[in-house]
Amino acid sequence: MAEDAGLPAAGVEPILEAKGLSQGQIVRKRFLGHSGAIIGLVVFAIIFVTAFTSVGYWGIPGWWKYSHDQVTPLVNDGVPTASLWPLVWGDHPFGQDRIGRDLFAMTMRGAQQSITVMLVIGLIAGLIGVVVGALSGYFRGWTEAILMRLTDVIIIIPALLLAAVMAQMAGRRDSGSWFATFASNNGILALGIFLGLITWVGLARLMRGEFLSLREREFVDAARISGASNARIIFKHILPNAVGVLIVNITLTMSAAILTETALSYLGVGVKAPDTSLGLLISQNQEAFATRPWLFWFPGLFIVLICLSINFIGDGLRDAFDPRQKKFNAKKARDHGGHPVAATPVTAFDGTKDD
Amino acid sequence: MVTYIVRRLITAALILLGASFLVYLLTAASGDPLEEFRASSAPNKQQLMDARTELLQLDTPAPIRYFHWLGGAAQCLIPFANSCDLGKNIAGQPITDALGHALIQTLTLVTGATVLAILIGITLGIITALRQYSTLDYGVTFMAFLFFSLPIFWVAVLLKEYGAIGFNNFLRNPEIPIPAALAIGAVIGVLTAVTVGGEMKRRLLIGGLAFLFAAAVLVYFSATEWFKTPGLGPVVIAIAGVGIAFAVTLLSAGLKNRKALQSALIAVGVGLVVYFVIQPLLNEATILMIVLLAVAAVLVGLGIGFLMGGYDRGQSMRAAALTSFLVGFLILLDRYMQAWPTYFNNSRVRGRPIATIGAGTPNIEGDFWIMSLDSFTHLILPTMALILISLAGYTRFTRASMLEIMNMDYIRTARAKGLSERTVVMRHAFRNALIPIATIVAFDIGGLIGGAVITETVFSVRGMGFLFLEGISHVDPNPVMGVFLCVAITAMGFNLIADLAYSALDPRVRVKA
């Protein structure tokens, strides 16, 4: 790489590695310096807190006066009462639907569902992806062959079919199996777990690639010679070096997961009425676009906001974890008149943390 | 190489067997195919249930049914025997027929969208990489993230509302009020100013000119009711053609190559003459004729370049061929615009041309131009939705790839030896940046057929996704299996092609023999 070889271009921030900071500190500093990621984080935090406190979660009551399935008399034909100028919140800030349910409560409930699915998928896919990728990349041979063929099989089975099967099973409340009971009581959790069980394949492939290249490095040899067990090498030596790729890709998987969940609910195989989700709200209300457009705008807006903020966080993480990338400041470059700043040698960044 | 391919194919076949077994069992387990009869009160309920049981062989267990299905499917492998048997769907129609129709529908839907998304995405990616950290770069990056986060069904409903219903209402009385024209002009002006780059003065000047031009054109269109009777006419074709000639030469040969520029301009002149000659012929057009004419246009361009010669004959030929192809496209566009009023006033269309659902107006009759306009007006919304969704990925990927290449040592070498920036970008950087993109494109084409399920549902196109969803909702394994087979085979085939293309394009990568 040109940058590693010598002079960083004009306007590059002073190189953090030279200050003797740990990898975690460098990553944190870089991440906090990424304005898009910070905005994404703040937006996501606001949505998260609002969604989970307003309408309550798991029986805990929230501060909002309506719940998502409560029918109240129509006020002003359900037109949203919130407005920016003059700044008022009103009784039904996002409006009401045809039968008088409060859209703010429904949207918040939907946002809860989407965030829950996202987190469950991220957790499960991350866990399985790491284990499968690590095992196949580290041990190679038969383990790799079997695990990778398994991923190949799962990767071509359409997610839609699996979701449909699950929706059918969850719908058969009376069949008495433990799964049907669980799924009908916690529809969204079951959906998240199910999607998590099929979205790990991409992560597993990535992690395998990381492990394949990292296991050939000198520090792994050194650890092995000094008598470290396989488990210790995997968890203490290789995994910390692959954690950047892992976190970034889990974020991207989660942002894709939100879209998958909303799409499945839209097609009628995800979350089902009487519970609600952002995708389901859109699918129920798209016919009413001409008469009640707000029913369509607010859920969509929240899907886009959640997904966008997660994507920006992921982008910030990618920049923060990528040792080659230097934060570039166009203003400073101009102030320097295009002359390169004094070069500081770039120290080797990888593999130095744990050995 | 051959061993590698054979090994990959064998693995693929085994994976396909395993996955198809799973898919069959899952579909069979996904519900009760007799459910609709159980609740019915029809007197012949038992008869209907028996018929359905007979048709789907419900009295045999699902794993055995799978092997029965596999036996039929295996006959597809016998070449030229035409004994393919993928079973029948719940209505008794053979799956092979249904798949054929659905495949055509899906391909017409996704092909244009994918090609356009790739072209626009790569262009945007390269421009943003060359202007890294400019306003344009930040703008495009933000748009890419935004499009990436859009649920396609939401976009589709918005497009239907504003792209179809709104635009059709506008066409009823195509008048653009002066403030609206000024506003649109201002947006175009700002976009141009951001895009051109360079000094602030230059940006403002070009942006201002774009604003004036766009506003004037809109006012003119409004005054002459252009949207009702659109057309380009020879004058616009001539002006646009000269612009194309300069742009193509600038990109492919550089304006310093006078011979290339002259060949491109001659191609525009020939195109103008042909415009008048060809009009009667175009009235009898068929799809084959259009394809032949396009080939002829390219050949004529090559001929002009060859005759003009110059110090680099290949460059002149390339410039002239590209120009004549694009001018030919303008002539085609003009002919479509001539057919527009007829289509607009067609009794089936009744002045609302942009359709929200389906793949064609039912029972419409007309010549080649009317029929293809009908397809276009039906395709335009789903195509836009698909482009918006898939554009972001290509833009981001091209930008990253191009940035990496632009930091390579050989690019510095190329600059150091005094090559023009155009040569460095177009010859040295662009071609190498395309290598990783080629594999992504191959990968995406593999996923195309099954990738538009939601788009097909929203726009009621009866393609592969529709077949698949209908199979699932009726617990009918045969259509699901048919779609799955097509999707999986193309996906795995293009995966292999992507790997092979990578090793063919990048000599540093070799496939393991």
DSSP letters along A271-334, please?
S-TTS--HHHHHHHHGGGGTT-THHHHHHHHHHHHHHHHHHHHHHHHHHHH-TT---B-HHHHH
Structure tokens at B261: 């520029």
Q: What SS3 string covers A142-200?
A: HHHHHHHHHHHHHHHCCHHHHHHHHHHHHHCHHHCCHHHHHHHHCHHHHHHHHHHHHHH
- From chain A, the residues in CB contact with B455 under 8 A are none
Mean pLDDT of chain A: 76
- From chain B, the residues in CB contact with A328 under 8 A are 133
User: Which pLDDT score, from 0 to 100, does residue B511 have?
Assistant: 60
User: Which pLDDT score, from 0 to 100, does residue B435 have?
Assistant: 84
Q: What is the mean pLDDT of residues B164-189?
A: 85
Question: At CA B110, angle to CA B109 and CA B111, rounded to 5?
Answer: 105
pLDDT in tens, B210-242: 999 999 988 888 888 888 788 888 888 999 999
> Are A158 and B450 an interchain contact pair (Cβ–Cβ within 8 Å)?
yes
Dihedral (C-alpha) B151, B155, B160, B164: value to the nearest 10 degrees?
A: -150
User: Which pLDDT score, from 0 to 100, does residue A17 have?
Assistant: 55
Burial B64-89 (b: 16+ CB within 10 A, else e): ebbeebeebbeeeeeeeeeebebbbb
Answer whether 0.95 is exceeded by the pTM. no
| Cβ–Cβ < 8 Å for A24, A247 | no
Please state the ipTM of this predicted complex. 0.78
CA distance B310 to chain A (A): 38
User: Which pLDDT score, from 0 to 100, does residue B294 have?
Assistant: 92
Is it the case that residue B295 has pLDDT exceeding 90? yes
User: Which pLDDT score, from 0 to 100, does residue B269 have?
Assistant: 92
Compute φ and ψ for B208, nearest 5 degrees: -65, -45
CA–CA gap between residue B132 and residue B124 (Å, rounded) = 12
Q: Residue B133: count other Cβ atoms within 10 Å of its Cβ.
A: 14
CA–CA gap between residue B380 and residue B357 (Å, rounded) = 11
CA proximity to A144, closest of A133, A155, A136: A136
Which 3 state secondary structure label does DSSP give B220?
helix
**Bridge partners for A96 per DSSP:** A102
Structure tokens at A291: 């008469």
Q: What is the mean pLDDT of residues A50-56?
A: 78
| Cβ–Cβ < 8 Å for B181, B219 | yes
Compute φ and ψ for A12, nearest 5 degrees: -70, 135
Q: Select the residue of B15, B457, B480 nearest A267 (Cβ to Cβ).
A: B457
CA–CA gap between residue B270 and residue B324 (Å, rounded) = 8
Q: Which residues fall within 8 angstroms of residue B508, CB to CB, at 6 or more apart?
A: none
User: Which pLDDT score, from 0 to 100, does residue B327 have?
Assistant: 92
Q: What SS3 string covers A41-101?
A: HHHHHHHHHHHHHHCCECCECCCCCCCCCCECCCCHHHCCCCECCCCECCCCCCCECCCCE
Mean pLDDT of chain B: 84
pLDDT in tens, A193-230: 888 888 888 889 888 888 888 888 899 999 999 998 98
Structure tokens at A107: 């949207």
User: Which one has a higher pLDDT value, A138 or A271?
Assistant: A138
CA proximity to B261, closest of B244, B239, B238: B244
Q: Among A158-167, B168-177, B244-253, which range has the highest average pLDDT?
A: B244-253
- From chain B, the residues in CB contact with A283 under 8 A are 153
* DSSP code, position A14: P
- Name the packing angle between helices B464-473 and B477-505 (round to 10°): 140
Is it the case that residue A162 has pLDDT exceeding 50? yes
CA distance B161 to chain A (A): 8
**Bridge partners for B94 per DSSP:** B88
Share of chain B above pLDDT 70, in %: 96
User: Which one has a higher pLDDT value, A82 or B283?
Assistant: B283
| Cβ–Cβ < 8 Å for A54, A105 | yes
CA proximity to B57, closest of B26, B33, B76: B33
Determine which of A69-83, B131-145, B229-243 has the lowest per-residue pLDDT on average.
Answer: A69-83
User: Which pLDDT score, from 0 to 100, does residue A222 have?
Assistant: 93
| Cβ–Cβ < 8 Å for B103, B464 | yes
CA–CA gap between residue A281 and residue A272 (Å, rounded) = 10
CA distance A329 to chain B (A): 9
User: Which one has a higher pLDDT value, B213 or B507?
Assistant: B213
CA proximity to B89, closest of B484, B480, B478, B485: B478
CA distance A247 to chain B (A): 18
User: Which pLDDT score, from 0 to 100, does residue A328 have?
Assistant: 47
pLDDT in tens, B409-460: 999 999 999 988 888 888 889 888 888 888 788 878 777 776 678 888 888 8
pLDDT in tens, B63-91: 888 888 888 777 777 776 666 777 777 77
CA–CA gap between residue B105 and residue B372 (Å, rounded) = 14
User: Which pLDDT score, from 0 to 100, does residue A335 have?
Assistant: 53
Q: Select the residue of B19, B26, B407 nearest A156 (Cβ to Cβ).
A: B19
Q: How many helices (H) and strands (E) does chain A have?
A: 14, 0
Q: pLDDT-based confidence at B94, cuts 50/70/90?
A: confident
Is it the case that residue B46 has pLDDT exceeding 80? no
pLDDT in tens, A285-335: 777 777 777 778 888 888 899 989 988 888 888 888 875 555 444 444 555
| Cβ–Cβ < 8 Å for B28, B65 | yes
| Cβ–Cβ < 8 Å for A304, B150 | yes
- From chain A, the residues in CB contact with B133 under 8 A are 328, 330
CA–CA gap between residue B513 and residue B496 (Å, rounded) = 14
* DSSP code, position B198: S
Structure tokens at B425: 């970008």
| Cβ–Cβ < 8 Å for A104, A92 | yes
Dihedral (C-alpha) B56, B57, B62, B68: value to the nearest 10 degrees?
A: -100
**Bridge partners for A71 per DSSP:** A101
Which 3 state secondary structure label does DSSP give B81?
coil
Compute φ and ψ for B394, nearest 5 degrees: -65, -40
CA proximity to A255, closest of A158, A131, A117: A117
Taking the Cβ of residue A168 and every Cβ of chain B, the question of whether any pair is shorter than 8 Å is answered with yes
Which 3 state secondary structure label does DSSP give B332?
helix
User: Which pLDDT score, from 0 to 100, does residue A180 have?
Assistant: 60
Q: What is the mean pLDDT of residues B265-294?
A: 88
* DSSP code, position B94: B
CA–CA gap between residue A342 and residue A304 (Å, rounded) = 43
Is it the case that residue A351 has pLDDT exceeding 60? no
Q: Residue B406: count other Cβ atoms within 10 Å of its Cβ.
A: 20
CA proximity to A116, closest of A227, A204, A195: A195
CA–CA gap between residue B203 and residue B197 (Å, rounded) = 6
> Are B145 and A149 an interchain contact pair (Cβ–Cβ within 8 Å)?
no
User: Which pLDDT score, from 0 to 100, does residue A277 have?
Assistant: 82
Q: Which chain A residue is nearest to residue B17, measuring alpha carbons?
A: A153
Compute φ and ψ for A74, nearest 5 degrees: -65, 130
Mutate to test the interface with A, among B7, B159, B162, B472 (most CBs of A within 10 A): B472
pLDDT in tens, B5-24: 898 889 888 888 888 888 88
Torsion sign over Cα B263, B264, B266, B270: positive
Which 3 state secondary structure label does DSSP give B88?
strand
pLDDT in tens, B338-354: 888 888 888 777 777 88
* DSSP code, position A33: T
CA distance B323 to chain A (A): 38
CA–CA gap between residue B463 and residue A116 (Å, rounded) = 33
